[in-house]
Amino acid sequence: MAKSKSKLKGKRVDPKSFSRDQIKFYCILIPIACLMVLPVVYMFNEAFKPLGELYAFPPTLIAKEPTLGNFKKLFELSGTTGVPMTRYLLNSVFITTVTVILNIYITVACAFVLSKKGQYRVTKWFFGINQMALMFVQVAVAVPRYIMIVRLGLIDTWAAHIFPLIAMPIGIFLMKQFIDDVPDALLEAAYVDGAGNFTVIRRIILPMTRPAVATVAILTFQSAWQATEASNNFITSDVMKTIYYYLNALQTNNAVAARGIVAAGTIILFIPNLIIFICMQSRVMSTMSHSGIK
């Protein structure tokens, strides 16, 4: 008995202490991690290189003469339409924030019904349809979506950015699985005490499903921040476009001259993603580990 216990000590999953056994894992993981991170590091440095160094040969990894010039140029660049960069940034921030908040409420509400109100037939088949929607390719529905937006009179409005992004089937999927695990008895008690559905969601479901909410928030953030469909198809006035779309266009049109600027822009785009992920990643793991993902 003692033998098998000590055998298991260093070999466990999620070890509490360091043991020599683990060195071989580090040997494999660290080079791979470096490989993964290297391009990102390179990208980071690109933004700080003056134009001359960008095209130097042999190419350098770490910037030899770091400068903030690229960032300065980026903000001074107002494009041919006279719209300042900060406006695009503001657009993106506004759209993303509103989308994330609305998405959370709508997703939790819907997932709650799908999970706990199985007695109504509607809920059962709707979840199935939602699952199928996960498999759809965006491009195929681009033109029909455009038709919908036109018919609804939403061209060139904030709603055109926000509404299509809120319907996120994967959010519903994750939330529903998580809410499935909230014990029914708890809800029954609440109902007996006179709570209505809205109160139950606010007081019980939301606090108990924080990890899943965090995950949905991250996923929504990532997709909203990088969304170009609205700026591309539904918005005509430049003032309303997002910074992601703007920088993309910049990259495509001035690949050579604006390389440093684009690199600077890419960092600005990447940083919020990174920060949010670091803050929420433990919650995300906690969501995934829930047996409810069945």
Partner 1 sequence: MKALKKRKYRRVNRREDYLSSMLLLLPYLLLFSLFIAIPVLIAIGLSFTYFDVIRTPELVGVSNYIALLTQDEIFLKYIIPNTFKYALIVGPGGCILSFVLAWLVTQIQAVPRTILTLCLYMPSMVGSLMIQVVWKTIFSGDQRGLLNAFLLSHGWIDSPVAWLLSPDHLLTIMILVALWQAMGIGFLAMIAGILNVNEELYEAAYMDGMKNRFQEVVYITIPSMKPQMMFSAVMAIVNAFNTGWIGPALAGSNPTPDYSGNLILNHIEDYAFSRYEMGYAAAISVVLLLMIAFFSKVAGKLFTEKD
Closest CB to partner 1 among residues 82, 129:
129
Q: Which of 179, 176, 161, 156 is nearest to 239 (CA)?
A: 156
| Max CA distance (Å), the chain | 77
Smallest gap from Cβ 103 to partner 1, in A, equals 9
Closest CB to partner 1 among residues 82, 176:
176
Residue with tokens 């719209």: 83
| CB neighbours of residue 20 within 10 Å | 7
Smallest gap from Cβ 105 to partner 1, in A, equals 8
Answer for the pair 162, 99: CB distance below 8 angstroms, yes or no.
yes
Smallest gap from Cβ 185 to partner 1, in A, equals 17
Residue with tokens 């001259």: 257
Smallest gap from Cβ 65 to partner 1, in A, equals 18
Closest CB to partner 1 among residues 67, 197:
197
The CA distance from 190 to 209, in Å, is: 17
CA angle 265–266–268, rounded 5-degree value: 65
Smallest gap from Cβ 76 to partner 1, in A, equals 20
SS3 call for 226: coil
Closest CB to partner 1 among residues 240, 267:
267
Closest CB to partner 1 among residues 114, 204:
114
Q: Exposure of 245 by Cβ count < 10 A (0-12 exposed, 13-18 middle, 19+ buried)? A: buried
CA angle 65–70–71, rounded 5-degree value: 120
Smallest gap from Cβ 80 to partner 1, in A, equals 20
Closest CB to partner 1 among residues 43, 68:
43
The CA distance from 91 to 208, in Å, is: 33
